[in-house]
Amino acid sequence: MITINKASVNTVVLTLTEKVTLSAPYYFLFSFTSQTTFDTVNFIAADTSLFTDRYNEFSITETTNPNLLNSQCELNPKGFWNYKIYAQSSSTNLVPEDANELIEEGIVKVEWDDLDVNYYDTDATDTNEVYNP
């Protein structure tokens, strides 16, 4: 499972290179789909690993004004998202159907860095009415 904190830079480490059949150079297209709203966000993330034959490392920035070609995305709402990662030869394609190959699927948890605050209305009175036919 990948964890993404909203409004921050997130380091994500995966093993993708071993699954890729393309010859270098290749790019990774990330496709996140919210399990709540079914909205999809596609973006390209740069591999910053020094040892790509062992692991792939990505710095993904969650921001309100993303550059989808530069490892940035906006993920609303927080919660669980499904992800698919594609390998492709294009550095600008954001359409999964046009990517070369699907190489990994999983779940992303999107959360806030700070604590969630719940507010309750203590002045409200609830009235339950029962209707008999």
* Per-residue model confidence (pLDDT) at position 111: 93
Strand-pair partners of 102: 86
61, 8 Cβ separation under 8 angstroms: yes
DSSP 24: S
Q: Print pLDDT tens along the chain (133 aa).
A: 999 999 999 999 999 999 999 987 789 999 999 999 999 999 999 999 999 999 999 999 999 999 999 999 999 999 999 999 999 999 999 999 999 999 999 999 999 865 555 555 555 566 666 666 5
**What are the DSSP E strand ranges found in the chain?**
2-5, 9-14, 27-34, 40-45, 56-62, 72-73, 79-88, 101-111
> For residue 43, what are the domain limits?
2-111
Please calculate the CA angle 124-125-126 and round it to the nearest 5 degrees: 120
The CATH number for 49's domain is 2.60.40.10
Question: Is position 126 within any domain?
Answer: no
Question: Is position 120 within any domain?
Answer: no
Question: Is position 124 within any domain?
Answer: no
* Per-residue model confidence (pLDDT) at position 102: 97
The candidate with the shortest Cα–Cα distance to 47, out of 19, 67, 17, 68, is: 17
> Cα–Cα distance between 92 and 94 in angstroms, integer?
6
* Per-residue model confidence (pLDDT) at position 117: 53
Question: Is position 128 within any domain?
Answer: no
The candidate with the shortest Cα–Cα distance to 47, out of 12, 21, 82, is: 12
Structurally, the chain folds into a number of domains equal to 1
Question: Is position 85 within any domain?
Answer: yes
pTM across the whole model: 0.83
* Per-residue model confidence (pLDDT) at position 68: 97
> Cα–Cα distance between 13 and 33 in angstroms, integer?
20
* Per-residue model confidence (pLDDT) at position 121: 55
The count of residues in the chain is 133
> Cα–Cα distance between 36 and 101 in angstroms, integer?
26
Question: Is position 118 within any domain?
Answer: no
* Per-residue model confidence (pLDDT) at position 44: 98
DSSP 25: S
